[in-house]
């Protein structure tokens, strides 16, 4: 196939070229275009044959769906069956830009585009040339990254030329990509929304608009055997350079120490700018240590550079996982096939017990750690599990508090049980004596299993100290906010009366007095920056 080349730097004065590029698309051809994230292979999203050509050019499996690119917000309605308010809010805040939103698809969106899923991924890029090409083509463009499947995404014209000449009808040079990693992908088809692929729009930025979001486990972990990928892209080996990468944890000195000790086992290091001189092996760099943006921009290029230099085995400096760093780590860990060398995971994982009064934001802190791959053991959830229909604990409860705490179908009527059990201290003690031993036993089991697998464990237990569960933790952490703040949060969140709120607080009195002796305290209220607070504790525990 003959490939034509275009160079676009000023869309307003290059209308003819833009028209010419668009005519390839109108004719059902594939064109490589620049975007602010990475280069894409674009075709008319409504032309099935054209879209099939993309899969051929990339060598991409057909069940891996494509992102559809638009050049104005309204065009989302051409593609999505339902556009919830959350989507509009996200779009208004982060579009045009490096964010892809997944929504239920319209029938007119072909299964070839959606990889047979009932949803469609939509993105409005901010790159001026991309916008002008979509606009001139007069149709949304399906476009995956412009690499051959399984290779790093191309962030500059040169790489697209290398990979795609002869495979597509045209390649547009639009300069170097600003972000360097692909867009953030969030699906609104789940509740709460799920982050499927991290990018330059960070989890914190998404939460600003969406409130709670889930981070798909596959973001920082290998997909477990037999698990179904929420985003088909996650199940494929991705971003792999020819060299075998291994990630080495620790600060600069620890890294240098490790490389010195093991330098016969590798031929290159991948480190941060300014560190090259300290390295006992040849190096390639990817951005600055404390600047995740600069790392994102360089990561794919650095991987290609290692290949070009013929690197075979590479020790990699581990970046931070927060903010845009989550996107960097997501790409890097995959590129390294999740090989960690001096990994904590080989040792026993840390168990961190969390306590905090209602409204203190305990779950927020738990979520921060889970996002980074920690496992949460939720005592409340376990309390519900052990009182499931037909369970021995439920039988004991019925015996102690009356058969009618069970509804006709055998389920526990929690309200009725609460009204009886919290009637006086003696009854409360009876309830505790029936439920607590089993809850504690299970919490211990869960914590132990996960820690033995080397995972960090967050034991989220409202009665961490009163139940003695703090004893099985390596560290305990109290999340603290003043009463007034907590009242306001609960009022807002649970819409219950102040009287009920006060009742909740008084039930937690003992726990709170005991929790004063927690190893760490996190202040989660204005003017404290809760992330700073968490990171402070994190550094103490994990470094
Ligand atoms: O920045 C970007 O998003 C670049 C530029 C060209 O816009 N595009 C890009 O496309 O990275 P691609 O095809 O390489 O990655 C799209 C990812 C894949 O992992 C795919 O599985 C996922 O998005 N995806 C697409 N549609 C989906 C859907 N309906 N549900 C779940 N995941 C979806
Ligand atoms: Mg890709």
Across-strand partners of 33?
Answer: 40
State residue 226's pLDDT score. Answer: 64
**Among all chains, which residue has been given the structure tokens 């979509």?**
134
Dihedral pair phi/psi, residue 341, rounded to 5°: -90, -70
Res. 217: pLDDT tops 90: no
- Ligand 2 centroid – CA 34 distance (Å): 14
Summarize pLDDT for 407-446 with one digit per residue, the tens. 999 999 999 999 999 888 899 999 999 999 999 999 998 9
Q: Indicate if the alpha-carbon torsion angle 341, 543, 529, 502 is positive or negative.
A: positive
Q: Which residues line ligand 1 (CB under 6 A)?
A: 35, 37-38, 40, 64-67, 100, 102, 114, 117, 119-121, 123, 125, 143-145, 182-183, 185, 196-197, 231-233
- pLDDT mean over 62-75: 95
pLDDT band at 539 (very low <50, low <70, confident <90, very high): confident
- Determine the pLDDT at residue 447: 94
Q: What is the Cα–Cα distance from 141 to 130, expressed in whole angstroms?
A: 10
Q: Which ligand is nearest to the CA of 185?
A: 1
**Mean pLDDT score, 216-231:** 79
Stretch 74-91: mean pLDDT, rounded?
Answer: 97
User: What is the residue with the minimal CA distance to atom 30 of ligand 1?
Assistant: 231
Indicate the pLDDT class of residue 259, thresholds 50, 70 and 90.
very high
Cβ within 8 Å of residue 250, ≥6 positions away: 258, 318, 342
pLDDT over threshold 70, residue 489: yes
CB 40 within 8 A of CB 144: yes
d(CA 541, CA 365): 15
2 token code pair: 């003959």
Could you tell me the distance, in angstroms and rounded to a whole number, from the CA of residue 27 to the centre of ligand 1? 24
Kindly state the helix (H) or strand (E) to which residue 112 belongs, with its residue range.
helix 111-114
Is the per-residue pLDDT at 511 higher than 60?
A: yes
pLDDT top residue among 239 and 156 = 156
CA of 186 to the centre of ligand 1 (A): 10
Q: Looking only at Cα atoms, what is the longest distance across the chain?
A: 85
* Pocket test residue of 37, 63, 67 for ligand 1, highest count of atoms within 8 A of CB: 67
44 token code pair: 């008319």
- Residue-wise pLDDT tens digits, 268-297: 999 999 999 999 999 999 999 989 999 999
Range 200-204 average pLDDT: 95
If we measure between CA atoms, which residue out of 417, 419, 450 comes closest to residue 435? 417
Q: Ligand 2 center to residue 51 CA distance, Å?
A: 15
- Statement: residue 347 has pLDDT above 70: no
Q: Which residue has a Cα nearest atom 18 of ligand 1?
A: 233
Cβ atoms of 287 and 274 within 8 Å: the answer is no
pLDDT of residue 317: 96
Which residue has its alpha carbon closest to ligand 1 atom 20? Answer: 233
Dihedral angle computed from the Cα positions of residues 38, 41, 44 and 48, in that order, rounded to the nearest 10 degrees:
-130
* Closest atom of ligand 1 relative to the 60 alpha carbon: 13
| Ligand 2 geometric centre to CA of 270 (Å) | 22
| C-alpha torsion sign, points 347, 348, 353, 354 | positive
If you average pLDDT over residues 378-403, what whole number do you get? 94
Pairing of strands 375-378, 31-33: unpaired
Please write the tens of the pLDDT for every residue from 107-149: 999 999 999 999 999 999 999 999 999 999 999 999 999 999 8
* Ligand nearest to the backbone CA of 65: 1
Helix (H) or strand (E) holding 62: none
Q: Which atom of ligand 1 is nearest to the CA of 232?
A: 21
Nearest of 247, 264, 210 to residue 330 by alpha carbon: 247
CB 172 within 8 A of CB 130: no
Q: How far is the centre of ligand 1, averaged over its atoms, from the C-alpha of 484 (Å)? A: 44
Nearest ligand by distance to the CA of 64: 1
Query: What pLDDT does 345 receive?
Result: 43
- pTM, rounded to two decimals: 0.68
CB 31 within 8 A of CB 133: yes
Which residue's CA lies nearest to atom 3 of ligand 1?
A: 183
Which alpha helices (DSSP H) does 358-482 contain, by range? 362-371, 379-386, 392-401, 414-421, 425-452
Q: Where are the alpha helices (DSSP H) in 211-273?
A: 252-261
Tokens 């994102």 sit on residue: 296
Q: Which ligand 1 atom minimizes the distance to the CA of 100?
A: 3
Q: Which pLDDT score, from 0 to 100, does residue 112 have?
A: 96
Number of residues that make up the chain: 543
Give percent of the chain with pLDDT exceeding 90: 78
80 CA to centre of ligand 1 in angstroms:
16
Q: What is the DSSP code string of 70-130?
A: -SSGGGHHHHBS---HHHHHHHHHH-SSSEEEEEEBPTTS-HHHHTT-SEEEEE----HHH
Stretch 498-521: mean pLDDT: 89
Smallest Cα–Cα separation from 30: which of 143, 193, 191, 163? 143
Q: How far is the CA of 502 from the centre of ligand 1 (A)?
A: 48
Are the C-beta atoms of residues 301 and 284 closer than 8 Å to each other?
no
| Stretch 70-87: mean pLDDT | 97
Task: Give whichever of 15-29, 199-213, 485-499 has the largest mean pLDDT.
Answer: 15-29
**Closest to 337 in 3D by CA, of 228, 455, 453, 242:** 242
> Which residue has its alpha carbon closest to ligand 1 atom 7?
40
């Amino acid at each position: 196939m003959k490939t034509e080349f275009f160079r676009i730097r000023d869309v307003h004065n290059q209308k003819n070229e833009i028209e010419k590029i668009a005519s390839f698309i109108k004719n059902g051809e594939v064109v490589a275009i620049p975007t602010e994230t990475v280069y894409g292979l674009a075709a008319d999203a409504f032309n099935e044959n054209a879209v099939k050509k993309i899969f051929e050019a990339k060598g991409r499996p057909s069940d891996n769906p494509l992102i559809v690119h638009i050049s104005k917000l309204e065009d989302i309605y051409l593609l999505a069956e339902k556009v919830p308010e959350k989507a509009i809010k996200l779009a208004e805040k982060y579009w045009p830009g490096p964010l892809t939103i997944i929504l239920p698809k319209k029938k007119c969106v072909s299964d070839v585009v959606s990889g047979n899923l009932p949803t469609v991924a939509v993105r409005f890029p901010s790159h001026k040339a991309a916008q002008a090409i979509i606009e001139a083509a007069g149709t949304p463009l399906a476009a995956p990254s412009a690499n051959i499947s399984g290779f790093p995404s191309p962030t500059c014209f040169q790489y697209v030329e290398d990979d795609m000449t002869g495979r597509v009808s045209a390649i547009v040079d639009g300069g170097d990509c600003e972000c360097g990693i692909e867009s953030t992908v969030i699906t609104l088809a789940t509740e709460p929304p799920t982050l499927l692929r991290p990018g330059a729009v960070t989890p914190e930025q998404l939460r600003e608009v969406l409130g709670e979001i889930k981070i798909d486990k596959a973001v920082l972990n290998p997909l477990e055997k037999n698990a179904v990928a929420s985003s088909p892209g996650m199940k494929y080996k991705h971003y792999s350079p020819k060299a075998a990468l291994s990630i080495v944890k620790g600060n600069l000195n620890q890294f240098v120490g490790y490389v010195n000790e093991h330098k016969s086992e590798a031929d290159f290091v991948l480190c941060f700018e300014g560190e090259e001189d300290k390295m006992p092996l040849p190096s390639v760099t990817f951005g600055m240590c404390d600047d995740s943006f600069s790392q994102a921009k360089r990561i794919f290029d650095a991987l290609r550079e290692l290949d070009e230099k013929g690197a075979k085995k590479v020790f990699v400096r581990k970046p931070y996982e927060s903010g845009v760093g989550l996107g960097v780590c997501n790409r890097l860990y995959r590129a390294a096939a999740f090989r960690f060398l001096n990994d904590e995971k080989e040792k026993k994982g840390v168990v961190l017990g969390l306590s905090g009064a209602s409204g203190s934001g305990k779950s927020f802190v738990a979520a921060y750690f889970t996002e980074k791959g920690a496992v949460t053991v939720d005592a409340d959830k376990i309390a519900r599990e052990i009182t499931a229909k037909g369970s021995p604990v439920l039988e004991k409860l019925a015996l102690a508090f009356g058969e009618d705490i069970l509804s006709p179908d055998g389920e526990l009527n929690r309200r009725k049980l609460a009204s009886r059990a919290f009637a006086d201290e003696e009854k409360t003690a009876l309830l505790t004596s029936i439920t607590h031993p089993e809850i504690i036993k299970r919490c211990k089991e869960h914590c132990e299993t996960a820690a033995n697998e080397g995972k960090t464990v967050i034991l989220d237990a409202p009665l961490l100290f009163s139940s003695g569960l703090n004893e099985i933790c390596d560290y305990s952490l109290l999340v603290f906010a003043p009463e007034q703040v907590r009242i306001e949060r609960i009022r807002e969140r649970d819409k219950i009366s102040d009287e009920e709120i006060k009742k909740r607080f008084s039930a937690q009195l003992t726990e709170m007095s005991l929790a004063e002796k927690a190893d760490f305290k996190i202040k989660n209220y204005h003017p404290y920056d809760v992330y700073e607070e968490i990171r402070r504790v994190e550094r103490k525990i994990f470094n």
